[in-house]
Amino acid sequence: GESVGLHLPTLSVQEGDNSIINCAYSNSASDYFIWYKQESGKGPQFIIDIRSNMDKRQGQRVTVLLNKTVKHLSLQIAATQPGDSAVYFCAECTTSGSRLTFGEGTQLTVNP
C-alpha cells in the first residue's frame, strides 16, 4: 500500500554540524510534502513544505530537497543546535485530497 518511510530511525550529530534526514515515499502521485518536528511531550510542529513542481525549498536554517525520480525527500538542517533535538517526520499527500500519510520518524540527537 501507500507508505512514507524513513531511511534511519536515529541520527546523532555534533552541535554546529549539518544534519540530513532522509525520507522515501512510494506513492508517485504524491505532490505535496511536509516535514514536521516533534519535541518530547509536544505535538508535531510544521517546519517546511514543498510541492512537486519544486526540487528545493529553503527556510531558516532548513532546506528540503525533493527528488521525484527516485521518490526521495530530505531535510537538511544547517549548524545544528541542541534545540533541534527531536523526532522528525515526513508526510506526503496529493493536492486532490488524499490522506496526509506520515512516515515513522527519525530521532535526531544533537551532542554538545
Interface contacts to another protein, rule CB under 8 A: 31-32, 34, 36, 41-46, 49, 89, 93-100, 102-105
Minimum CB distance to another protein smaller for 38 or for 109: 38
- Could you list the beta-strand ranges (E) of 18-96: 19-25, 32-38, 45-51, 56-58, 62-67, 72-77, 86-93
> Smallest gap, in angstroms, from Cβ of residue 44 to another protein?
5
Minimum CB distance to another protein smaller for 69 or for 96: 96
Neighbours of 49 (CB within 10 A): 15
Q: What is the identity of the amino acid at 112?
A: P
Nearest partner of 76 among 103, 47, 43, judged by Cα: 47
Minimum CB distance to another protein smaller for 55 or for 104: 104
> Smallest gap, in angstroms, from Cβ of residue 63 to another protein?
18
> Smallest gap, in angstroms, from Cβ of residue 110 to another protein?
22
